[in-house]
Amino acid sequence: MQTNKIIMTVKKYLQKEHKIDINDVDPDALVILDKLRAHGYTAYLVGGSVRDLLLNYTPKDYDISTNALPEQIKRVFSNCFLVGKRFRLAHVRMGHKTFEVSTFRNGDNEDDALIQNDNEWGSEEQDVTRRDFTVNGLFYDNDSQTIIDYVGGVEDGRKNMLRCIGNPYIRFKQDPVRMIRLLKFKARFGLDPDEQMIEALFALRTETLKSSPIRILEELLRMLESGSSVPFLKNLQHHGFLETLLPNLAHFFETPLENEIYDLLTEVDRSILVENARAPKRPLLVACIVYPIYRKRMQEIYEASPRKAHLGKMQDEAFKITSHLFGPTLRITKKILAETVNILATQYRFTPLQKKKALVCKIPRTRDFDQALKFFKLRADLEPGLTDIYNEWVYYYEKFKKSAPPTKRATTTRRPRRHR
Which spans of this chain sit near Mg ion (rule: CB under 5 A)? 48, 61
Q: Is 240 in the site for ligand ATP (CB under 6 A)?
A: no
The smaller minimum CB distance to ligand ATP, of residues 218 and 370, is found at 218
Amino acid symbol at 152? G
Q: Which does 132 bind (CB under 5 to 8 A by kind): ligand ATP, Mg ion, none?
A: ligand ATP
Amino acid symbol at 186? K
- Out of 18, 20, 103, 132, point to the residue binding ligand ATP (CB under 6 A): 132
The smaller minimum CB distance to Mg ion, of residues 53 and 325, is found at 53
Task: Provide the terminal-to-terminal Cα distance of the chain, rounded to the nearest Å.
Answer: 79
Helix (H, G, I), strand (E, B) or coil at 186: helix
Q: Which does 131 bind (CB under 5 to 8 A by kind): ligand ATP, Mg ion, none?
A: ligand ATP
- The residue with its CB nearest to Mg ion is 48
Helix (H) or strand (E) holding 103: strand 97-103
Cβ neighbour number for residue 266 with a 10 Å cutoff: 15
The smaller minimum CB distance to ligand ATP, of residues 53 and 298, is found at 53
Q: Which does 175 bind (CB under 5 to 8 A by kind): ligand ATP, Mg ion, none?
A: ligand ATP
- The residue with its CB nearest to ligand ATP is 48
Q: Using an 8 Å Cβ cutoff, are 318 and 341 in contact?
A: yes
- The region that residue 145 occupies, defined by phi over 0 for left and psi between -120 and 50 for alpha, beta otherwise, is left
Q: How many residues bind ligand ATP (CB under 6 A)?
A: 12
Q: Is 173 in the site for ligand ATP (CB under 6 A)?
A: no
**Cα–Cα dist 73/103, whole Å:** 9
Q: Which does 295 bind (CB under 5 to 8 A by kind): Mg ion, ligand ATP, none?
A: none
Q: Is 48 in the site for ligand ATP (CB under 6 A)?
A: yes
**Cα–Cα dist 365/404, whole Å:** 10
Residue 315: exposure state from Cβ atoms within 10 A (0-12, 13-18, ≥19): middle
Q: Which residues are registered as beta bridge partners of 164?
A: 133
Q: Is 175 in the site for ligand ATP (CB under 6 A)?
A: yes
**Cα–Cα dist 93/80, whole Å:** 6
- Out of 105, 178, 239, 379, point to the residue binding ligand ATP (CB under 6 A): 178
Residue 163 CB, nearest distance to ligand ATP (Å)?
13
The smaller minimum CB distance to ligand ATP, of residues 232 and 302, is found at 232
Q: Is 222 in the site for ligand ATP (CB under 6 A)?
A: yes
Q: Using an 8 Å Cβ cutoff, are 213 and 331 in contact?
A: yes
∠268-372-403 over CA atoms, to 5°?
A: 130
DSSP state of 105: B
Residue 191 CB, nearest distance to Mg ion (Å)?
15
Q: Which spans of this chain sit near ligand ATP (rule: CB under 6 A)?
A: 47-48, 60-61, 63, 131-132, 136, 175, 177-178, 222
